[in-house]
Amino acid sequence: MADYYITPNYISIPKIFRKDATGGYFETCISCECNLLEEEVDYLIEKALKPYDGLNSYSTVFEYAICWPCSEKMRMTLSQESKTNIAKYFDQHLDLEERRKQFEETPLDVERWLGTCAISQAPVSELKEFQIYGHFQGKDMIFHHYPFTLSGQVMDELIHLISNKTLDDLQNFTDQLTSGPPEFADLLKSGPRVFI
């Protein structure tokens, strides 16, 4: 399954997955605060972006890094019903292997991988808001099923699949991340989606 361990596709972490404010690397897991650069732990970065010019110009609504074990723990907090609904949604709308084949010619071109919503195929230049996800080890970004973009619209669809109890938990998590301006309220309400 995880054949990137056999044929790794790495690049150093590109600018879009570094910290918005400083351009530096994410150094700690938002949950357990382990050191992501020194410990040999896989981790994810999620960012919510509001674009002005696709991937060239955008403002960052929120961003964080989370280690793999913590993201697994977070997935475990989803209700069984939510998990089933989300799995069904992705089964119907996204074939990650098929998607990976789309980029066989440009296996390390982050702008191509992130350039369209993985589910709706809408170009980011046409989106009002979107989220990007990446998979990292140390200072490397791994291309396999990640990275990908999900449009705000797809996020809304996903949120409707999640039970209220789970949403409350995620909202608590989001509250710790940011107190964003009101225009981002809808986006923030749906919060981080490390469970995807």
Do 12 and 140 meet the contact criterion of CB atoms below 8 Å apart?
yes
Task: Tell me how far apart the alpha carbons of residues 29 and 23 are, in angstroms, rounded to a whole number.
Answer: 17
**CA distances for 97 relative to 36, 62, 101, angstroms:** 27, 28, 6
94 CA to centre of own chain: 15
Whose Cβ is closer to Zn ion: residue 155's or residue 194's?
194
Residue closer to Zn ion by CB (options 43, 130) is: 43
Q: How far is the CB of 111 from Zn ion (least distance, A)?
A: 29
Residues of this chain that interact with Zn ion (CB under 5 A) are 29, 31-32, 67, 70
Count of residues in the chain: 196
Q: Shortest Cβ distance from residue 182 to Zn ion (Å)?
A: 30
What is the CA angle 54-96-112, rounded to 5? 25
Between 67 and 162, whose beta carbon lies closer to Zn ion?
A: 67
Q: Could you tell me the smallest distance in angstroms from the CB atom of residue 179 to Zn ion? A: 23
**Alpha-carbon distances of 65 from 31, 68, 121, rounded to whole Å:** 9, 10, 25
Q: Which is nearer to Zn ion, 32 or 96 (CB)?
A: 32
- Minimum distance of Zn ion from residue 164's CB (angstroms): 26
